[in-house]
Amino acid sequence: MALEIKQSLRLSQQLVMTPQLQQAIKLLQLNRMELCEVINQELVENPVLEELGEGSEAENAAQTETGSTPDPEAEQRREEESFIKPQAKEEQLAQAAKEDFNWESYVEDFNSNFSTAPSMREINDELPSFENILTKTTTLEDHLMWQLSMASLIDQERRLGELIIGNLSDDGYFKATLEDISKEVGMELEDAEEVLKIVQNFDPVGVASRNLQECLAIQARFMKPRQPLVERIIENHMQDLERKNYQAMAKSLGVPLDKAIEATKLILEFEPKPGRSFHASDTQYITPDIYVYKVGDEFVIVLNEDGMPKLRISPYYKNILSAGAKDQNKVTKEYVQDKLRSAVWLIRSIHNRQKTIYKVTDAIVRRQRDFFEKGVQLLKPMILKDVANDIGMHESTISRVTTNKFVHTPVGIFELKYFFNSSINAADGSDALASEAVKEKIRQMVTKEDAKNPLSDQKIVELLRTENIEIARRTVAKYRDMLGILSSGKRKKVI
């Protein structure tokens, strides 16, 4: 078979993701705090970028005072020029006025203005160092290890105690098997049980328990005076306790119902998760990216740009390109041109990001006006395609814009994705209702129910039907689980 060389043409469509396009997509997904971090990083890495600070604003104000009135048309032209490709701008930069930049005077002014007042230095010298005022939160493990160090144990027992403490969950439960860790230290299982009991008597009481029943039993033994009925309930009637079957419990124990209920009240005061007080999760603070205010009959959208650096191209590096000297270093000029292109594209991408977020929020406000005026119960069904069609963008762009961004509204703070949800059909075939609105109705029904006779899922279905909402019982059960609401049997309160 002979080999031959051929030339052929083939037409195909391929998506080329340029670095600039990748950067624009990345910025679109960032929230305000993440965007500020990216901008600050670019300010460090790109010398062509400058932050427009108070000095620049003061300079503009000074020009106004001296009689130079800003020309709106000129300002518009300058804004448009900031988006022109750097290659096309090079000739324009060559004609721009040069701005002298005296680095020596700048350094002198900086050093002279930065000096600290003597009185302030003296005060700072007397203050303790930053390291000396830092505090460390006591963990459950630290608290138990300190108590273990005070216990009268031999080295082998102390080692086993350390292994027990090291195998506790955040809630304070012992998750390993005593057989395994006792073998690791070469101790008999019976002796290991005694060490475990010592740890279980540490503060908080009930720590290192292997299950809920053992945890409650340990706390019951510490009651003063002892409550035998409480201990019997925990030992033999945990299932009745969980199901709140107090009559069966009282009958089995041979005690009056009020006595069984009184003992149950004491058990309800126990701590089912002894380590919970030492496991405080970090508070997650939400800073809204957008604010929506109602002014008169209209809603006003304001993007949160607090703390976001205002960027501009450095005049100093503009002059390097506009100088046009023949002896100018070619490598330096190419470097500045590359950084200039990167800076211009970053500024353009940030502006486009802000415009896109505004457009998406505006479309959401127009579609969900009833929600912004009256609350969650009037939330309408909406999908990404609805907003995409309104503003003429792709659904993937809407998805990126609404990810991890929060809006402050007159009825609360919500993630932008919250407004996109499925629909629940109306019983009479009229306008559908958003699933989040139905969840809110279920939550309010459960909040207002009689604690001694809670609403079953079927009863909730019937009540929703009276409000023109057609929904299946299994859907109600699913929504109830999503809201963290227990079943009617577990919500029932007899005491």
Q: Is the pLDDT of residue 67 over 70?
A: no
Residues 460/477, Cβ–Cβ less than 8 Å? no
Q: Which amino acid is at 180?
A: D
At which residue do the structure tokens 């501009």 appear?
A: 312
Give mean pLDDT, residues 203-231. 92
Burial annotation 392-423 (CB, 10 A radius, 16+ → b, else e): ebeeebbbbbbeebbbbbeeeebebbbbbbeb
The Cα–Cα gap between 383 and 417 comes to 10
The Cα–Cα gap between 416 and 422 comes to 15
Residues 229/254, Cβ–Cβ less than 8 Å? no
> What is the helix (H) or strand (E) element at residue 111, kind and residue range?
helix 103-114
**Residue 310: CB partners within 8 Å, gap ≥ 6?**
51, 52, 53
**pLDDT for position 75:** 42
Answer CATH for 140-278 from 3.30.70.580, 1.10.10.1330, 3.30.565.10, 3.40.50.150: 1.10.10.1330
Confidence of residue 469 (pLDDT cuts 50, 70, 90): confident
Please tell us whether the domain made up of 426-491 is placed in CATH 1.10.10.60: yes
pTM above 0.85, yes or no: no
**pLDDT for position 363:** 95
Closest CA to 397 of 360, 362, 372: 360
**pLDDT for position 93:** 40
> What is the helix (H) or strand (E) element at residue 312, kind and residue range?
strand 311-313
| % of the chain surpassing 90 pLDDT | 37
Q: Please state which of the ranges 8-17, 102-111, 216-225, 248-257 shows the lowest mean pLDDT.
A: 102-111
Q: Output the CA angle 393-399-404, nearest 5 degrees.
A: 135
Closest CA to 419 of 368, 468, 477, 374: 368
pLDDT digits (tens, 9 = 90+) for 368-391: 999 999 888 888 889 899 999 999
Give mean pLDDT, residues 385-401. 91
**pLDDT for position 88:** 44
Q: Which two tokens stand for residue 193?
A: 């049980």
Residues 123/115, Cβ–Cβ less than 8 Å? no
The Cα–Cα gap between 177 and 152 comes to 24
pLDDT digits (tens, 9 = 90+) for 168-205: 998 999 999 999 999 999 999 999 999 999 999 999 99
Residues 466/443, Cβ–Cβ less than 8 Å? no
> What letter does residue 414 receive in the DSSP assignment?
E
Q: Is the pLDDT of residue 91 over 80?
A: no
> What is the helix (H) or strand (E) element at residue 293, kind and residue range?
strand 290-295
Cis check: omega of the bond before 118, within 30 degrees of 0: no
The Cα–Cα gap between 21 and 31 comes to 18
The Cα–Cα gap between 203 and 201 comes to 7
Q: Which amino acid is at 50?
A: E
| % of the chain surpassing 70 pLDDT | 78
Residues 32/357, Cβ–Cβ less than 8 Å? no
Collapsed DSSP state (helix, strand, coil) of residue 245: coil
**pLDDT for position 375:** 87
Instruction: Write out the DSSP string of 326-383.
Output: TTS-HHHHHHHHHHHHHHHHHHHHHHHHHHHHHHHHHHHHHHTHHHHHH-GGGPPPB-
**Residue 495: CB partners within 8 Å, gap ≥ 6?**
246, 261, 264, 265
pLDDT digits (tens, 9 = 90+) for 276-322: 888 766 667 788 999 999 998 899 999 998 888 888 888 888 777 77
**pLDDT for position 105:** 42
**pLDDT for position 15:** 58
At which residue do the structure tokens 């000129």 appear?
A: 74
The highest-confidence range among 96-100, 365-369, 431-435, by mean pLDDT, is: 365-369
- Between helix 315-323 and helix 86-95 the angle, nearest 10°, is 80
Give CATH 1.10.10.60 domain extents, the chain: 426-491
**Residue 132: CB partners within 8 Å, gap ≥ 6?**
none
User: Alpha carbon of 272 to those of 196, 202, 262, 490, 492: distances in Å?
Assistant: 18, 16, 19, 17, 20
Q: Please state which of the ranges 12-21, 223-232, 245-254 shows the lowest mean pLDDT.
A: 12-21
Q: Which two tokens stand for residue 313?
A: 């191209």
At which residue do the structure tokens 């000396």 appear?
A: 132
Give CATH 1.10.10.1330 domain extents, the chain: 140-278
The Cα–Cα gap between 27 and 38 comes to 9
pLDDT digits (tens, 9 = 90+) for 130-174: 454 455 678 899 999 999 999 889 999 999 999 999 999 989 999
The Cα–Cα gap between 4 and 187 comes to 80
245, 247, 252, 255: CA torsion to nearest 10? 130
> What letter does residue 168 receive in the DSSP assignment?
B
Q: What are the φ/ψ torsions at residue 242 (nearest 5 degrees)?
A: -65, -40
The Cα–Cα gap between 122 and 243 comes to 68
Q: What are the φ/ψ torsions at residue 107 (nearest 5 degrees)?
A: -65, -40
Give mean pLDDT, residues 82-90. 42
Helices (H), 154-221: 155-166, 178-184, 189-200, 212-221
Q: Is the pLDDT of residue 241 over 90?
A: no
Kindly report the number of other CB atoms within 10 A of residue 47's CB atom. 14
Q: Is the pLDDT of residue 107 over 80?
A: no
